[in-house]
Chain A
Amino acid sequence: DAGVTQSPTHLIKTRGQQVTLRCSPKSGHDTVSWYQQALGQGPQFIFQYYEEEERQRGNFPDRFSGHQFPNYSSELNVNALLLGDSALYLCASSFLGLGQSTEAFFGQGTRLTVV
Chain B
Amino acid sequence: KQEVTQIPAALSVPEGENLVLNCSFTDSAIYNLQWFRQDPGKGLTSLLLIQSSQREQTSGRLNASLDKSSGRSTLYIAASQPGDSATYLCAALNAGKSTFGDGTTLTVKP
Partner-contacting stretch, out of B43-51, B67-75, B77-85? B43-51
Interface range for B: 20 to 34
* CB of B36 within 8 Å of the partner chain: yes
Interface pair B43/A100, CB less than 8 Å apart: no
* Interface secondary structure of A, over-half rule: strand
Q: Contacts A42-B89, A42-B103 given; indicate if A107 touches B98 (C-beta within 8 A).
A: no
Q: What is the CB-to-nearest-CB distance from A85 to chain B, in angstroms, rounded to a whole number?
A: 18
Interface pair B96/A107, CB less than 8 Å apart: no
Interface pair B96/A100, CB less than 8 Å apart: yes
Interface pair A88/B41, CB less than 8 Å apart: yes
User: Nearest chain-B residue to A55 (Cβ)?
Assistant: B96
Interface pair B34/A104, CB less than 8 Å apart: yes
Chain B 20-72 interface residues, beta-carbon cutoff 8 Å to A: 31-32, 34, 36, 41-46, 49
Complex contacts, A32 vs chain B, CB 8 Å: none
Complex contacts, A96 vs chain B, CB 8 Å: 96
User: Nearest chain-A residue to B42 (Cβ)?
Assistant: A108
Q: What is the CB-to-nearest-CB distance from B42 to chain A, in angstroms, rounded to a whole number?
A: 6
B interface residues with partner A (beta carbon < 8 Å): 4, 6, 31-32, 34, 36, 41-46, 49, 89, 91, 93, 95-103
A–B complex contacts, Cβ < 8 Å, 27 sampled: A33-B97, A35-B100, A40-B102, A42-B102, A42-B103, A43-B89, A43-B91, A44-B100, A48-B96, A88-B41, A92-B98, A96-B96, A100-B31, A100-B93, A100-B96, A101-B93, A101-B96, A103-B34, A103-B49, A104-B91, A104-B93, A105-B46, A106-B36, A106-B43, A106-B45, A108-B43, A109-B43
A interface residues with partner B (beta carbon < 8 Å): 4, 6, 33, 35, 40-45, 48, 55-56, 58, 88, 90, 92, 96, 100-101, 103-109, 111
Known interface pairs A101-B93, A106-B45; 11 further A-B residue pairs with C-beta atoms within 8 A, sorted by A's residue number: A6-B43, A42-B100, A42-B101, A42-B103, A56-B95, A56-B96, A90-B44, A92-B44, A96-B96, A100-B93, A101-B31
